[in-house]
Structure 1
Amino acid sequence: MIDQNKNNSDLRKRAEKMDREKTSRIPEDMKNRSSEEIQEMLHELRVHQIELEMQNDELRTSQMELETVKARYFDLYDLAPVGYCTISEKGLIMEANLSAATLLGVARGSLANQPISKFIFKEDQDIYYLHRKKLFETSSPQAYEIRIVKMDGTVFWARLEATVAQDAAGVTVCRVMLSDITASKKAEEILRRDKKTLGKMVKERSIELMEIQAELERAKRLYDIGILAATVARELRNSLFGISLAATVIRSKIADSMIDPQLQVIDKMIAESGQIIDNLLFYSHLRPPQRETLNLHSLLEECTGALQPVRSGKKIVLSKHIDSLKGVPVSADPDQIREVFSNILNNSLDAVPDHGGQIDVRARVYRELVKIHITDNGPGIAKADLKKAFDPFFTTKERGTGLGLTVCRQIVKMHGGFINIKSGKGKGTSVIMTIPKTEPKRGNDLFKIGTSPYSNIL
């Protein structure tokens, strides 16, 4: 307001000076004019004076409006919630609002003529230069996300939206809007991580559902087989008993070296058929474990001793490394665990060659479980067959029901453990059985098949 009064005073002085100069040049004939003419001239002067006053009022109004526009510009530009910068073609900051200065962590006055690249994260420099080049070449608006480094070294994610414009001198410049998008970037990362986690959970649950479906199908087959097996087994066992009795009578009546080998074949066939019947009955009447405290070391010794390699006509090397089981109590069903050991050991015995066969039995004890490895140097199992090894009635043997491993798997699973097979064609076979020392709590996922953290321990 003081400046405005000073301007008005200076204007009046200039007007009075001009009036004096004009008055000194009044022609002589003005003195001879009539009063009417002078009155008319005064009227004209007054009209001009009023016009000037009206124009002056309009100028003052325009000036006030201009001040209002300036204040509004200050609010919209300087106090905007996002940063605004004007950048030259050389990449120098020509102008910036307060928000831009705050985002960059620099006093507004010190931003002039600073290169904008100075505040761009080193690894993102190429992104900035590529978009700047594209902007000035095509005049097409550019939008991109880069990391900005403040003066104190703090890094944040920013979105830059750039357009081409002309400054007051007609020079081409770049107008940039700068926004802090760090929060949204963090949210995106959380969503991406959650999406990945959710996808993994869905995949795991899908696998579990497929396993449950497979188990249901096996259970239905078991039920159907059980009804048939119980009837057939009784009839077959009666017949086998008759054959065995006849062979015993023949052996007692006739002592002939020509007949003895044939009787031994009969005994072997009866034993194999009996095992098949036992598997059928065991499979069809699988019951929950009747747990008691077992000495696994003694049970394994009993099962390995029952292999009778001489009777099978094979000369094998049986090595045992099971001393770690001594004194380790395990809660399990002795009949069922014996069935598992016998099945696996008999499979190994069938697989190894007649001469040079090797069966290795090892045991390891962990804090919560025990692990039994039974390995042979047989021909191994093809990859395609390995996937079906636990399926009911699947077998690669000339004789057999294909129920042995199925029974083993069911028993071990009922004990809260799991059983795996590692094999390859020509590489032998290793069966790994893992069972907990104590009965696992209901709903405990530790011993689900394939999910235990110990499943890869050798």
Structure 2
Amino acid sequence: MNKSQDPIETNASEIHSKIDFATELQIHRLELEKQNSKLNDAQQLKETPDRYAAFYDNVPVGYLILDKAGNILAINLSGSTLLGKERASLLNESFSSYIVQDDHDRFLSHLQQTFNSSTNTVTELRIKGPLSKVIHIRLESLVIEDAGICRTVMTNIHPIKETVDYNQELLHGHRRLMQNLFKIQEEERRLLARELHDELGQWLTAIHAETETIAYFSEKDSTIHISAQAIKECIKKMHDAMHDMLSQLRPILLDTLGLEDALLELKKQWISHNPHITLELVFDGKFDKLSELINITIFRIVQEALNNVRNHAQASQVRVCLHRKTGATATEDTLSLSVEDNGKGYDADQIPHGLGVLGMRERAIAAGGKFFVRSIPNHGTQIHAKFPLDSSNRRRKTDVL
């Protein structure tokens, strides 16, 4: 008769079997997770080139690889779209064939500089895009060492270029408008000066002649003689005042003898009214054969600057310097003006009203120049203007302002 199996031993055996089974399941689960991870990694590796390819094609700039001859070895979709061609048809094509003829030399220079440098080379030029439309682009290239090729980024700057050109056109239009306004202003001043000289001048001359007659035929100690002498003195003061007014309205010497003599006369008059301020006038170069526009612009800026020194600066010294620089070519000639004082100065960010700085700046810009003001409280003020002396700023026979 067989003895029955111990229940405790039976239960222990079942428990061990279950533990072994659970362990096997855990091992299989870990293996499955490992295999799944490898599959995910493989899938990501497979998708990564696709993602990079999509990114490469759809960035908002053209990306090219060029050889030393400028042939296209690779180009992204944005680049081919900018050129208006299918990508496949562009491969091994010369990039220069899509460049506007006048910019060919610039592109060749860009290539040469790229392959002879280890840094980025940047050039702006024009290409023929879709429907032969001219497009302004910016090329930025970097050579790949020992590969004989370069990576090039092509950016469409046409919208920016159009905006810049439009702003330049507005600026030139504003400059022409200011030139016409100042021309009209100077012509009105010329006419007013002529009227004052011709009309008021002849009446002052007539009054002076009458007072001379009265003084001659009257007794020296008589009331009439004394009054006649007083009238003569008043006429002299009126004549001097009118002369100053005429000089302010239109400097006669500027029309007859030129800029240097007009400024010397201005200095003489200014010193006579401001003897407490030392005025130094320096000329460096030749100032004949300048256009009427430049002459009157320089004169008016100096005139206004000296008025500022007298009325606002509280200065004891002022220096006016006119310098002409002759370049290697006629287009490099420049004329520089500086007016410097040792007065109280002011905060340049808070230019006081009534200094005429805006008017001086507008005159300089209208004449094609640049205008700068530098002032520090208690350290004086410096005014600088610079003008290009191209053909438009040299005297012509038809110049009249």
TM tier, smaller: 0.3 to 0.5
Report the TM-score when normalising by structure 1.
0.38
Report the TM-score when normalising by structure 2.
0.42
Structure exhibiting the larger radius of gyration computed from Cα positions: 1
| Bigger relative contact order, structure 1 or 2 (CA pairs below 8 A, ≥6 apart) | 2
